[in-house]
Amino acid sequence: MSAKTSGGSDAHKRRAGGRAAEDVEDGMVVGLGTGSTTAYAIEALGRAIEDGLEIRGIPTSFQSRQLAIEVGIPLTELDAVEGVDLAIDGADQVVDSPDSPAHGALIKGGGAAHTREKVVAASAERFVVVADPSKLVATLEAPVPVEVIPAAHTLVAERVRELGGEPTLRSASQKDGPVVTDNGNLVLDCAFGTIEDPRALGQELGAIPGVLEHGMFVGMADSTYVGVDGGLEVRTY
Ligand code: 5RP
């Protein structure tokens, strides 16, 4: 299984992204996540701006910055604002299991943007995840993307194996060699099988020297908007 999960329909993604954009009000600072689902939110915000909405966006990646510029969203930086009102972002997997303590935990980083995504989400008053039904799981099981500084990739891989994971250095598809993140680092996709305690695993990964950030987002999301046939389902945590 690759870190980037796919299989959801564009109609579901559009519904989720479009609904999240409706939560944005005049004057807000909005975190602009990365990926194909959030792109629908960014495009909807561009249309709302044409109709008079006044907001500032904080992109989480080169991709979301480019799209935001294209659709006319004025941009700012985290250190230039008092705070972020709302962050909108996609996910590779979302735990959908109300009886589990991990309900609402996410794996992100299929687009290798999870470090900035986590910083922006953590800065936000409210963090809304946008997803299609293919992202909902009872237990996280996708490989966990781990951004590492280049000098540390072998050490981190060794430590991940000691934790019971199988690390794979993410390869670029149209370049020889590895994916290099927007921060100039590498990504190890770390397969652990089913992850019963995402918070504990996240803490162990975060403690490895050379790890910049991992893609486990635990206790961060406030809601998930799931685009479904004919409508939208909302999970609130
Ligand atoms: C990028 C991410 C994305 O939000 C995640 O991969 C979901 O993307 P998509 O909406 O294209 O399925 O975490 O780092």
pLDDT (tens digit, 9 = 90+) per residue, 121-153?
999 999 999 999 999 999 999 999 999 999 999
Question: Are 232 and 115 in the same domain?
Answer: yes
Question: Are 52 and 98 in the same domain?
Answer: yes
Q: How far is CA 155 from the centre of its chain?
A: 25
Question: Are 171 and 92 in the same domain?
Answer: no
Candidates 117, 147, 204, 213; catalytic one: 117
Question: Are 27 and 110 in the same domain?
Answer: yes
CB 160 within 8 A of CB 152: no
The answer to whether residue 71 is domain-embedded is yes
Is residue 201 lining ligand 1, measured as CB closer than 6 Å?
no
The answer to whether residue 4 is domain-embedded is no
Is residue 61 lining ligand 1, measured as CB closer than 6 Å?
no
Question: Are 183 and 124 in the same domain?
Answer: no
- What's the number of domains the chain is made of? 2
Residue 158 domain boundaries = 144-213
Confidence of residue 8 (pLDDT cuts 50, 70, 90): confident
Q: Judge whether residue 211 has pLDDT over 80.
A: yes
Q: Give per-residue pLDDT as tens, 9-66.
A: 999 999 999 999 999 999 999 999 999 999 999 999 999 999 999 999 999 999 999 9
Q: Judge whether residue 6 has pLDDT over 70.
A: no
Q: Is 25 among the residues known to form the active site?
A: no
Which ligand 1 atom is at minimum distance from the Cα of 135? Answer: 12
Question: Are 33 and 94 in the same domain?
Answer: yes
Question: Are 63 and 121 in the same domain?
Answer: yes
Question: Are 35 and 114 in the same domain?
Answer: yes
Question: Are 228 and 117 in the same domain?
Answer: yes
Question: Are 124 and 152 in the same domain?
Answer: no
Question: Are 103 and 153 in the same domain?
Answer: no
Is residue 114 lining ligand 1, measured as CB closer than 6 Å?
yes
